[in-house]
């Protein structure tokens, strides 16, 4: 094999020195790169969680503010003038006093049972009929909170210094007399400007400099608050908007209609105390370039430091290797063999100098300790993820497996069948033959479950006599595979089991199955559906399979 002439002229010692220096340089660079990548990943997650926290804080403030307004409307019901026909002027004064104390209250009115406004703040709309408006129709039935809408009757009657279309949130409640007869409806219009106060309170000057924007979407994903050009636009194209029943803060890297990508945090309103919530979604977004700028800076700093350290360590390695190349080479080779898992190898004790002897002794002790710790850690991980009786994976392992299996199935265009298994008659075995016999029965059942599995499938014990099986296959084979495996399970488990002292036990099993993603896009939902199907199988006579029907 051809070698450059200058390499051929180098001595073996010089080659070893160059090799060690190169290894130190490359290893330090690699560690720097790994550290930069892992640190960046963690920092990106922290930035995303901060965005979702901002969205949560905004929606929480909105919910609490609306709850306070609802409570104030409830307190208004205690005004004696509401049930006294002769105190309309007093009622107007009291309503105007409340309005003056709350700059978010634009208008308060009280109607008669027919929807004619009897009393209103500043006399606005008195004598007008709102019988056809939702605020009266809904408010005469029970306490009602309406979603954001533009002003109709009040648009030209209320001051509007901003010039923008007036928007209100309505609160209405029925007013009854001492006999429970309807006296009318108390209606309150809250100015939507209070929501902008909440929005501005979320954005400090430093947050403004980071190009962070807060938006509020209605239940149908229409922009209620946010940049002026986006007000009133639907955002149904966003892929990660939370579902209506999911109030958990979350974040994602989202491509917006403009084509720009943002780190986006979401939180859907679920109400607070007396305020039932209107399904609003608070959104915090920040351009990726701005949000992840600290990540890039950190990566550059770590890699720069890594290069510098690599050069320093390479120089040190070159100097040390020039003096102790042979002993260090032996130590390095021994360490490499241990790293590769070769049995029987250990660090040799070098006696060429006190320093080498101390180094080799320390390395031997350190490696021995690391090997013991590694063995202990592996053993603890096995214990934490394994059911001690049956040796099957437990619930903790199943959760970890599903987190990895879902992305893999998506990449391979596969579906998964989740089958919940519950033994029929196991309690009777425990009661009649004792818990030891029950344990032996479970061990035998475990072996039968394993025999029914295909390669790549997973069965785990959830506890007691409950098991769960996860099967992966192409979508077109899902139903056939579910029935085929379930049939094997029903037949295998139904066979009698021989126990000590010539005792014999026979149990059955009920199976409940659900499919991902056909029955649910979230694996936890699919598992709940399979559990429900299992109880259906139990209630319909046991020892049978029930597949969830949407």
Lowest mean pLDDT among 193-197, 290-294, 482-486: 193-197
| pLDDT score of 508 more than 70 | yes
DSSP 8-class letter at 476: G
CA-CA distances (angstroms) from residue 124 to 121, 167, 245, 398? 6, 17, 40, 64
CB distance 115 to 106 below 8 Å: no
CA 78 to chain centre: 44
| pLDDT score of 135 more than 60 | yes
Greatest CA separation found in the chain? 116
Q: Which of the four CATH numbers 3.90.1530.10, 3.30.70.270, 1.10.8.80, 3.40.640.10 does domain 395-547 have?
A: 3.30.70.270
So what's the pLDDT on residue 470?
93
What is the tens place of the pLDDT at every residue in 334-371? 777 776 766 556 777 767 667 667 777 777 777 767 66
Instruction: Dig out the tokens for 436 from the structure.
Output: 């030891």
What is the tens place of the pLDDT at every residue in 301-334? 777 776 777 677 667 766 666 665 666 666 667 7
CB distance 216 to 280 below 8 Å: yes
Share of the chain above pLDDT 70, in %: 75
So what's the pLDDT on residue 512?
93
Q: DSSP labels for 1-59?
A: ----HHHHTS-HHHHHHHHHHHHHHHHHHHHHHHHHHHHHHHHHHHHHHHHHHHHHHHH
In this predicted model, which residue has the larger pLDDT, 186 or 153?
186
Q: For residue 516, what are the β-bridge partners?
A: 416
Most confident region among 155-159, 293-297, 478-482, 492-496 by mean pLDDT: 478-482
Query: What pLDDT band is residue 97 in, cutting at 50, 70 and 90?
Result: confident
Give yes or no: 465 in active site: yes
Distance (Å, rounded) from C-alpha 216 to C-alpha 214? 7
CA 428 to chain centre: 41
Other CB atoms within 10 Å distance of the CB of residue 277:
18
CA-CA distances (angstroms) from residue 152 to 119, 128, 155, 194? 19, 13, 5, 19
Q: DSSP labels for 361-421?
A: HHHHHHHHHHHHHHHHHHHHHHHHTB-TTT--B-HHHHHHHHHHHHHHHHHTT-EEEEEEE
Look-up: residue for tokens 């009920």? 510
Q: For residue 142, what are the β-bridge partners?
A: none
Which of 67, 424, 465, 531 does the annotation list as catalytic? 465
The β-bridge relationship of strands 213-217 and 182-191 is unpaired
Mean pLDDT for 32-51 is 75
So what's the pLDDT on residue 519?
92
CA-CA distances (angstroms) from residue 492 to 81, 141, 450, 452, 538? 78, 60, 11, 8, 18
What is the tens place of the pLDDT at every residue in 180-211? 788 888 888 777 666 666 666 655 544 444 67
In this predicted model, which residue has the larger pLDDT, 337 or 515?
515
Question: Domain residue spans in the chain?
Answer: 5-30+310-383, 203-293, 395-547
Distance (Å, rounded) from C-alpha 19 to C-alpha 77? 87
Tell me the whole-structure pTM to 2 decimals. 0.45
CB distance 110 to 128 below 8 Å: no
| pLDDT score of 2 more than 50 | no
| pLDDT score of 93 more than 50 | yes
Across the chain, mean pLDDT equals 77
What is the architecture of the domain spanning 203-293? Answer: 2-Layer Sandwich (3.30)
DSSP 8-class letter at 221: S
């Amino acid at each position: 094999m051809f070698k450059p002439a200058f390499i051929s002229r180098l001595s073996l010692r010089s080659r070893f020195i160059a090799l060690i220096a190169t290894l130190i340089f490359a290893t330090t660079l690699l560690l720097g790169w790994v550290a930069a990548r892992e640190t960046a990943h963690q920092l990106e997650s922290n930035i995303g969680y901060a965005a979702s926290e901002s969205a949560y804080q905004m929606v929480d403030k909105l919910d609490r503010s609306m709850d306070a307004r609802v409570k104030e409307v409830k307190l208004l019901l205690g005004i004696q003038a509401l049930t006294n026909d002769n105190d309309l002027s007093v009622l107007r004064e009291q309503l105007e006093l409340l309005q003056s104390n709350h700059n978010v209250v634009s208008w308060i009115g009280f109607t008669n049972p027919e929807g004619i406004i009897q009393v209103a703040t500043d006399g606005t709309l008195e004598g007008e009929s709102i019988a056809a408006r939702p605020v009266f129709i809904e408010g005469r039935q029970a306490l009602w909170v309406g979603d954001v809408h533009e002003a109709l009757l009040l648009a030209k009657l209320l001051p509007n210094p901003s010039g923008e279309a007036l928007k209100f949130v309505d609160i209405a409640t029925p007013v009854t007399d001492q006999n429970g007869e309807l006296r009318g409806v108390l209606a309150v219009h809250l100015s939507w400007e209070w929501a902008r106060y909440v929005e501005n309170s979320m954005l400090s000057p430093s947050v403004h400099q980071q190009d962070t924007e807060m938006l509020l979407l209605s239940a149908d994903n229409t922009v209620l608050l946010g940049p002026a050009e986006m007000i009133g636009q639907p955002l149904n194209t966003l892929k990660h908007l939370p579902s209506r029943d999911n109030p958990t803060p979350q974040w994602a890297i989202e491509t917006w209609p403009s084509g720009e990508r943002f780190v986006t945090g979401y939180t859907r309103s679920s109400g607070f105390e007396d305020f039932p919530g209107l399904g609003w979604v608070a959104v915090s977004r920040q351009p990726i370039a701005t949000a992840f700028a600290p990540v890039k800076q950190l990566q550059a700093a770590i890699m720069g430091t890594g290069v510098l350290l690599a050069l320093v360590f390479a120089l040190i390695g070159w100097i040390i290797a020039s003096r102790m190349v042979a002993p260090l080479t032996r130590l390095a080779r021994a360490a490499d063999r241990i790293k590769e898992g070769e049995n029987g190898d250990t660090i040799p004790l070098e006696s060429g100098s006190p320093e080498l002897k101390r180094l080799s002794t320390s390395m031997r002790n350190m490696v021995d300790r690391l090997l013991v710790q590694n063995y202990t850690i592996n053993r603890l991980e096995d214990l934490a993820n394994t059911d001690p009786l049956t040796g099957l994976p437990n619930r903790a392992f199943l959760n970890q497996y599903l987190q990895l299996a879902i992305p893999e199935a998506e990449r391979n265009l596969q579906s998964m069948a989740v089958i919940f298994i519950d033994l029929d008659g196991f309690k009777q075995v425990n009661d009649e033959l004792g818990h030891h016999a029950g344990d032996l029965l479970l061990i035998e059942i475990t072996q039968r479950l394993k025999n029914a599995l295909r390669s790549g499938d997973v069965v785990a014990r959830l506890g007691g006599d409950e098991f769960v099986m996860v099967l992966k296959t192409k979508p077109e084979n899902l139903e056939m595979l579910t029935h085929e495996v379930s049939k094997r399970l029903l037949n295998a488990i139904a066979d009698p089991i021989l126990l000590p002292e010539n005792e014999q036990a026979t149990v059955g099993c009920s199976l409940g199955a659900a499919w991902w993603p056909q029955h649910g896009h979230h694996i936890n939902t699919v598992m709940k559906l399979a559990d429900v199907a299992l109880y259906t199988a139990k209630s319909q006579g046991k020892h049978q399979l029930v597949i969830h029907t949407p």
